[in-house]
């Protein structure tokens, strides 16, 4: 078993999770060569590939071990709650489980950090588990390229779903537990508004991805 972060992410798993088209998809949804602030808490999973596609990346995480996976990009070790880099980016990427966090404070901190760091005409790209995912969630076993995956539902009360995912690659096994809150479309849009963001559109080709844009700052008195 590899090192596990304070919030339960197996560090070694993120080094070997295969790309199943996410990099090309994300690259196609943002302006060519746009600088991207990555708040996904995914190590170098997105950042390394997007750097190779011509994007200048800045990656923020509270785990030094996860940041150690990042190549050819600036890294910042920090919590999102008080994050203020003093700069804004044309694209902020938040492909994070925190979008559906059971503790809504974590979600709100993520959205607020996105808002603080996106340019006035920029784009926030988020990943979430929509209501339909919870409605259709079942236990399954399958493969992700060479990796074997087993997903088990431990409990679901209609709002919070607790799960355990097991990943196997060769002789190495990783286990990750997760708790996710079911949010309606209205819940998600209200959280965006509270953070100073506005729902833009679902991103075609990525069922769990959507974009948001910043609401204009009010004029100073």
Band (204; pLDDT cuts 50, 70, 90):
confident
Look at residue 206 in the predicted model and tell me its pLDDT: 63
Please give the order of strands across the beta sheet that includes 172-181: 140-144, 147-156, 160-169, 172-181
- Mean pLDDT, the chain, rounded, equals 94
What does the alpha-carbon distance between residue 125 and residue 29 come to, in Å, rounded to a whole number? 9
pTM, two decimals, is 0.94
What's CA 22's distance to the chain center, in Å? 12
Encode pLDDT of 112-146 as tens digits.
999 999 999 999 999 999 999 999 999 999 998 89
């Amino acid at each position: 078993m590899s090192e596990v972060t304070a919030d339960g992410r197996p560090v070694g798993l993120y080094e070997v999770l295969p790309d199943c088209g996410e990099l090309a998809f994300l690259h196609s949804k943002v302006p060519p060569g746009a600088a991207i602030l990555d708040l996904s808490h995914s190590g170098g999973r997105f950042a390394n590939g997007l750097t190779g596609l011509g994007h200048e990346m800045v990656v923020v995480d509270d785990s030094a071990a996860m940041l150690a996976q990042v190549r050819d990009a600036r890294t910042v070790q920090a919590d999102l709650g008080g994050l203020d880099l003093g700069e804004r980016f044309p694209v902020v990427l938040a492909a994070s489980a925190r979008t559906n966090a059971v503790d809504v404070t974590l979600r709100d901190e993520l959205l607020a950090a996105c808002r603080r760091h996106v340019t006035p005409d920029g784009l926030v790209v988020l990943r979430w588990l929509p209501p339909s995912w919870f409605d259709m969630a079942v236990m399954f076993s399958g493969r992700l390229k060479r990796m074997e995956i087993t997903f088990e539902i431990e409990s679901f009360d209609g709002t919070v779903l607790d799960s355990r995912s097991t990943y196997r690659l060769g002789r190495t096994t990783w286990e990750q537990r997760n708790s996710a809150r079911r949010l309606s479309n209205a819940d998600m849009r209200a959280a965006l508004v509270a953070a100073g963001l506005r729902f833009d559109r679902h991103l075609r080709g990525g069922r769990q991805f959507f974009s948001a844009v910043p609401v204009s700052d009010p004029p100073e008195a």
